[in-house]
Amino acid sequence: MNTKQRAMYASRARGVRAPYGLGVRQSSLPHRTGTTEDGVATQAASAACEAGKFPHVLVDADANRRLFEYERSVKDRFAAIVPMLKEIAAVQHERDFVERAQCIANTKLGFSLPQRMLDDAWVEQLDMRSLYAHCVFNVFHQVAAQIQAEQAQSREVLDQERYYLQDCDFHEVDFSPCADGRLKGLVRFVLRMPQGAVRRKSYAGAMFDVEANVRHWMRTEFYRYREGVPSLPDAGTRYLKVAVYHWSSSDPAHEGCAAHGSNERAAAEAALSRLIAFRRAIENSFCCGASVDILLIGVDTDTDAIKMHIPDADGAISLYRYVDSAELYRQTAGLDAKSAHARLWETIQATIRKEGWGQGNGAPHEGMLRLIGRLLINNMSQIDYVCKNYGGRYPDIGHNELFISVGEGFEEVQIRNLTYYAAMYTVEEGAPDLDIGVKIFKGLNVSRGLPIPVIIHYRYDSRVPGSRDRIVAQCRRVKAAIEARYPALVKDHLLLCAMTVQDREQGSGIEQVEQESSNHAH
């Protein structure tokens, strides 16, 4: 047996701890109330929060407190950027401006500003757009570095989650959510899974690249047969592909998935069609019973409640056969632990036995049922989180992202509405995703005179000679192509790019790539 595999099985007996994070007293958590124009949606959210006034045995209150402190600390850092820049703008004509500006930046944000930008301020107006983008990029790097340090201390939690997934008969769980920034916290918050335990790659409208995902499946299976990682070939485990669509219960006609015209049904159907195509591609291309399991999840981005679509015994999924976690949360509030778990199981079984449009052919395998039950329980903690901290509904029900992430994406920072993600290796193939992101940021930033910050990020393999140099060259090509696609925005300093690379080895740091000498913005 491979030594990595032996170590994994040796630790199976350990218990699973709550997600790692920072703590804060319950009394210090502010109560926030969301707003909505939809009275029905408000009533539903209120009903969940009314139930949440009582202690819920299925809710992890300690994890909720840690996650809220984590979310608040990250967002507070970004929120400090604009007030800091306003303070600097107010003193740009003072004699000791450069020293005062650097002092303000270091005090408020913890890093210095580009010296040449400040030195040139006496000649012309301070380039506030470039300074804003510089601050967004550097705050992100600060946050990512802090989170990486925390994750290094919680490897045991990560390993335990992997063991649990293998006990559910899955050697790989691969999520493809929509690229919408409101789903950025899907894994760590909405589903409460440790970062790194699952694969996550976003696409506009959850329309993932079937061929690219088949290649990842092949790579995963190769490692199983070659090294026995993450499970041995004869272990009987399977690859699980999960697509995640979303909608807005507050304003379903306008704040749903932009890639599908805010049409929930269209978003769900499109995600399901990709799952089916992925499974058929593998079954048609490989022999000996090669197959995968698929799962479809819907997220109400206003409340983080989910619809868990339960597969039948054949792995078939129906848009009409699902468990509503918000309803389950209300039904189990106030029950003791035994009764709450019984109600959860009864709800799942009733959904499996559903007749009519949602009727299926029996129940999925036991491992799938265990995972579904766990994710539903995890999500009830998130529903409680939104109730306690935001009055049951986020105040920013629409887009409120801070930058666009282009390339392979960042897994370190997972917080709702932090970044819009456009997956791509060339601008030509990722143009639809990128165009949607730019359109969103024209409303968020450009309309207020702020630039669109874009971070181009790709991973290299340090084991492969020359890999980093080639990836850096790719970053530069993509940057040039993005700037060529939006020349008017670039000319007015309303679209500014930074480039980063990262080794594929887990836990590797994010490395900034220097800009060409002709571009002094960052």
The residues near 76 (Cβ < 8 Å, ≥ 6 apart) are none
Given a contact cutoff of 8 angstroms between Cβ atoms, the answer to whether 163 and 228 are in contact is: no
Q: Provide the pLDDT for residue 36.
A: 41
Q: Which two tokens stand for residue 492?
A: 């007015």
Catalytic residue (choose from 38, 180, 312, 384): 180
- For the cut 60, the answer to whether the pLDDT of residue 5 exceeds it is no
d(CA 241, CA 366): 17
Question: Distance of CA 460 to CAs 175, 192, 195, 406, 480, Å?
Answer: 22, 28, 20, 15, 20
CA distance 448 to 86: 14
Q: Could you report the per-residue pLDDT of 442-485, keeping only the tens digit for each?
A: 999 999 999 999 999 999 999 999 999 999 999 999 999 999 99
**Percentage of the chain exceeding pLDDT 90:** 71
Task: Provide the CATH number for the domain formed by 167-390 in this structure.
Answer: 3.40.1050
355, 361 Cβ separation under 8 angstroms: no
Distance, CA of 112 to CA of 134 (rounded, Å): 10
Determine whether 120 is an active site residue.
no
DSSP state letter for 31: P
pLDDT at 123: 74
Each residue's pLDDT tens digit, 311-370: 999 999 999 999 999 999 999 999 999 999 999 999 999 999 999 999 999 999 999 999
Residue 345 confidence (pLDDT)? 97
Residue 55 sits at φ, ψ, to 5 deg, of: -60, 130
Degrees (nearest 5) of the Cα angle 444, 449, 453? 60
Q: Which pLDDT tens digit goes with each residue over 207-254?
A: 999 999 999 999 999 999 999 988 888 888 999 999 999 999 999 999
Q: What is the dihedral of CA 470, 474, 476, 478, to 10 degrees?
A: 180
Stated as kind and residue range, the H or E segment containing 261 is none
How do the domains of the chain map onto residue ranges?
A: 167-390
d(CA 233, CA 69): 42
User: pTM of the full predicted structure?
Assistant: 0.87
Which residues are registered as beta bridge partners of 502? 459, 510
Average predicted confidence (pLDDT) for the chain:
87
Q: For the chain, how long is the longest CA-to-CA vector?
A: 78
Q: State the pLDDT at residue 40.
A: 54
Is pLDDT of 521 > 50? no
The mean pLDDT of 20-32, rounded to a whole number, is 32
